Amino acid sequence: MGAVNIWEKMLNLDRRWIFLGIGIISIVFFLVGFGMPVTTTKEVENIFDFVNELGPDDAIFIGFDFAPGTQAENMPMAVAVLRHAFHNNIPVFMTAIVPLGQGMAVSALNYVTDPAIDGHYERVLFEDWADYREAGITNREDIIAAWERDGNVLPEGALGWVFEGRDYALLGYLPLFHLVILGMTNSIETQFPVDYHGNPIGEMPMLKEHKSLRDVDLAVTNAASGACTYWITYAREKIGLPIAFGVTGVMATDYYPYIQSGQIIGQMGGLRGAAEYEVLLQENGITATTDKAFRGMDVQSAEHIFIILLIVIGNIAYFAGGFHKKTRLKGRG
């Protein structure tokens, strides 16, 4: 009788205990982690390899096409690509398809340039190097040489300098973004006369070299919406711009046909895709360690194991307690 009561209690376990267990596991494994290995897939490797072949004469777009609701999945993807671009000195345009997306772009930039983090990039604001532009110094190597000659020293733990308007442009959000993409195929400046901070786009050296999407080498949209198809329709199919996706886990399977058709070069799917990119950054010496997505995979894996154990225990309780027989007899009655 006692054994039956145990099985019955297992089957009628209050769901709040399950939620509590998941909460405890999430906190413990986020703080500790066990470093479960993450193997990389071809879809993510293709994006990494493409970006890795680019340099200072090229340019990429990173779309922060998501809101805080999917930040846990989309943000690590965008951060990983942004780090890769800064390491290779690739100029980066940062845009957003939704109003909250521009806040996500600001957060990503602040995170990658945070002086409190080892392995950050030291940011120089647009107005801080205005004298160099007036003197005609716009080449990246010349800017750095003049900047450091004037007594500016790269802080300890920083990987390099990033100059606003030379290495990145935070363009922000505009409504009807599919039309914005279409307009940028002719001119970026007509769509974004000023950047998010009010700096004139036309005065930025990177805009003088990359006037439209036709002068850009890759767009990576990190999305939880229809932004993916916008970039395909209005950029890939119109001017042949190479496109890559970073999408939430539930969206990933919807876009595999675009990989098979060759319309996109690759895809990061969910937290796993972001963790794969972080692994590739570490393996290639671009970052010293992995980041939040890799740690998040530990949490996710531990939660999955916990849920699987509950399912196994529930099935054992169902059969060992004879509840399957009672259900059958009750049905006959």
Of residues 329 and 296, more confidence is placed in 296
CA–CA separation, 276 vs 175, rounded Å?
Answer: 32
User: In whole angstroms, what is the distance from residue 293 CA to residue 188 CA?
Assistant: 32
Q: Are residues 216 and 82 in the same domain?
A: yes
Same domain flag for 267 and 174: yes
DSSP bridge pairs for 181: none
Place of tokens 């990173």: 62
Per residue in 255-268, pLDDT (tens digit) is 999 999 999 999 99
pLDDT at residue 255, rounded to an integer: 92
Using a 10 angstrom Cβ sphere, with 0-12 exposed, 13-18 middle and 19 or more buried, the burial of residue 61 is buried
Average pLDDT over residues 90-111: 96
What digits encode the pLDDT tens for the residues 6-51? 877 777 888 898 899 889 988 888 787 677 788 999 999 999 999 9
pLDDT on residue 37? 82
CB 228 within 8 A of CB 245: yes
pLDDT at residue 210, rounded to an integer: 97
**164 and 19, same structural domain?**
no
> Using the 8-state DSSP alphabet, how is residue 175 labeled?
S
| Sign, Cα dihedral of 277, 280, 284, 286 | positive
CATH number at residue 69: 3.40.50
What confidence score (pLDDT) does residue 3 get? 54
pLDDT at residue 325, as a whole number: 59
pLDDT higher than threshold 70 for residue 331: no
Is residue 235 exposed (0-12), middle (13-18) or buried (19+ Cβ within 10 Å)? Answer: buried
For residue 135, the Cα-to-chain-centroid distance in whole angstroms is: 37
**What's the whole-number average pLDDT of the chain?**
91
Tokens 């997306």 found at: 101
Q: Are residues 180 and 313 in the same domain?
A: no
Give the tens place of pLDDT for each residue, 275-325: 999 999 999 999 999 998 988 888 878 888 889 998 888 888 888 766 655
Is 261 in the same domain as 305? no
Helices (H), the chain: 2-11, 15-31, 42-52, 71-87, 99-112, 130-134, 140-149, 177-184, 188-191, 205-209, 227-231, 237-239, 256-260, 270-283, 292-320, 323-332
Which position has the token pair 């107005």?
A: 127
**pLDDT reported for residue 300:** 78
> What number is the average pLDDT over the span 171-186?
95
Same domain, 264 and 331: no
What is the domain count for the chain? Answer: 2
Q: Which long-range contacts (CB under 8 A, 24 or more apart) does 294-297 make?
A: 294/38, 295/30, 295/33, 296/30, 296/72, 296/76, 296/271, 297/36, 297/38, 297/271, 297/272
Instruction: Please name the amino acid found at residue 186.
Output: N
Confidence at residue 166, expressed as pLDDT on a 0 to 100 scale:
97
Measured in degrees and rounded to the nearest 5, phi and psi for residue 92 equal -125, 125
98 & 74 share domain:
yes
Residues 59 and 132 in one domain: yes
Is residue 97 predicted with pLDDT exceeding 90?
A: yes
φ, ψ at 181 (rounded to 5°): -60, -45
Q: How do residues 200-253 score in pLDDT, each as one tens digit?
A: 999 999 999 999 999 999 999 999 888 899 999 999 999 999 999 999 989 999
Verify that 140 and 235 share a domain, yes or no.
Answer: yes
Place of tokens 């099985």: 7
- Let me know: does 104 contact 73? Beta carbons within 8 Å: no
Examine the domain organization and report whether 8 and 156 are in the same domain: no
Enclosing domain of residue 3: 1-32+292-333
Are 94 and 216 members of one domain?
yes
